[in-house]
Structure 1
């Protein structure tokens, strides 16, 4: 049984697998936040910069910074043509290298279940955001079946092959997000579900995108060709097929936002 943890170290592979999903959910998330222009933003767990790019392109930020532990992801992010103003840092979500109140808004996009201690990560975001500022996140509902790779992972598990889940898959549940934000002392907390559908040219397009990253690629590489063929057949049953040969899949994430209390 393959017991590799879910990790993302290859920015290009992540872009093929998750970049489009991230933008689909990220657009809805930013519409929901509806922030004013001219803010200083921090993207915690920025990965390859997919969401950082949305901030830069859509929000007219005064400043935008991203932080991530992966050099490979950050290298890809720094090469994005859509984020020339962004400054990227290698670092830990649980020990942000920024001063108290340095930003107007801090976000975690599809990250919170990867943070070893989510409460520390949320507390750090609250610390580096100025009073009255926004702390927000959205994350695939891992336990509820909302993860875009769920059809592949579900069948891998059924066949005895699967990567380990992220450290805290339940952190993305609505009730847990609410508790994390309350415990961090944030106020005006709101939550919502984000539903997205991604369309693919055909099943081969879906398969390439969903198996190109380090989440499942090692497990599939270790399989015999006939086992891979069986897996493909089983996965295909979870997709919606169109008359033109295209396929689509639905995923969903949970989102939360709150404010750092104003000083009395």
Structure 2
């Protein structure tokens, strides 16, 4: 899958920036899927293994595979102690290196908006899942302001700063996800919203985490000191701290699931 200007190369930075968010949404997502034990799972766009770790820990799988275009992210995933039995391959979501009907379930966590041709990516998931198996995904509602760091991005845009965007942001809309699953001829299609909350120790914790963003981290690092301070003050003003100093941020994802026809 091609991500345009957004490249994921630092597994540790991604873990702090997005891995925790992925797991927060993933908890509700897996509850919703209600999988049976003993299945063979594929994590499409597995990245640094944040969600893959949940498949191993919560689903009692027979096997877990992960595919991702970033070898740097896969190095991090392979180093997770909980994933020593998982199998990872470098590859593209639109042309996955697996035979037909190889898995019982394929999931795509926080990835579909990075796939240049989302319909092709969904069709590929359907191809590698056996008849009757699950094809599912969740993605931040990019168009609806559900991205966890939307406050920062909105302030950057308000200052005239160009923010890199994934190639297919509309694919995260709940109606579009349903259409993509229907277009892949999947059965028993369902959708839902997932709202999650994450608490940061204080604003500095939030800001340091945001600096690890593959989308805007380099932009922030290259800004003039006074411009960065101005932006930081605007963002701080939109994220009121609790009496303890903690800051709680919300995010909203859309999820979809369906089954390969028998």
Q: Does 1:181 align with 2:181?
A: yes
Deviation at 1:86, TM superposition (A): 0.7
- Structure 1 residue runs without a partner (length 5+): none
RMSD: 1.0
Give the Cα–Cα distance (whole angstroms) in 2 for the partners of residues 104 and 240 of structure 1.
45
1:145-183 deviation digits (Å, cap 9, x = unpaired): 000111111111111223321000010101100000000
SS at match of 1:212: coil
Question: Higher mean Cα deviation, 79-88 or 172-181?
Answer: 79-88
Q: Does 1:60 align with 2:60?
A: yes
Give the Cα–Cα distance (whole angstroms) in 1 for the partners of residues 159 and 82 of structure 2.
41
- Using structure 2 for the length normalisation, give the TM-score: 0.97
In structure 1, the residue matched to 2:151 is 151
Deviation at 1:237, TM superposition (A): 2.5
Deviation at 1:128, TM superposition (A): 0.4
Give the Cα–Cα distance (whole angstroms) in 2 for the partners of residues 12 and 249 of structure 1.
21
1:53-87 deviation digits (Å, cap 9, x = unpaired): 00001101000000000011111111111211110
Contact 1:15 1:48 in 2 (8 A): yes
Give the Cα–Cα distance (whole angstroms) in 2 for the partners of residues 98 and 240 of structure 1.
48
In structure 1, the residue matched to 2:172 is 172
In structure 1, the residue matched to 2:197 is 197
Give the Cα–Cα distance (whole angstroms) in 2 for the partners of residues 103 and 172 of structure 1.
24
In structure 1, the residue matched to 2:140 is 140
Give the Cα–Cα distance (whole angstroms) in 2 for the partners of residues 75 and 153 of structure 1.
29
SS at match of 1:36: coil
Contact 1:153 1:162 in 2 (8 A): no
- Structure 2 residue runs without a partner (length 5+): none
SS at match of 1:16: helix
1:93-112 deviation digits (Å, cap 9, x = unpaired): 00011111000000000000
After TM superposition, the runs of 4+ consecutive aligned structure 1 residues lying more than 6 A away are none
Give the length in aligned residue pairs.
259
Give the Cα–Cα distance (whole angstroms) in 2 for the partners of residues 115 and 238 of structure 1.
31
SS at match of 2:97: coil
In structure 1, the residue matched to 2:79 is 79
Q: Does 1:238 align with 2:254?
A: no
Give the Cα–Cα distance (whole angstroms) in 2 for the partners of residues 138 and 214 of structure 1.
20
Deviation at 1:217, TM superposition (A): 1.1
Q: Does 1:229 align with 2:229?
A: yes
Contact 2:164 2:215 in 1 (8 A): no
Question: Higher mean Cα deviation, 189-198 or 148-157?
Answer: 148-157
Deviation at 1:10, TM superposition (A): 1.1
Give the Cα–Cα distance (whole angstroms) in 1 for the partners of residues 205 and 136 of structure 2.
32
In structure 2, the residue matched to 1:44 is 44
Deviation at 1:209, TM superposition (A): 0.9
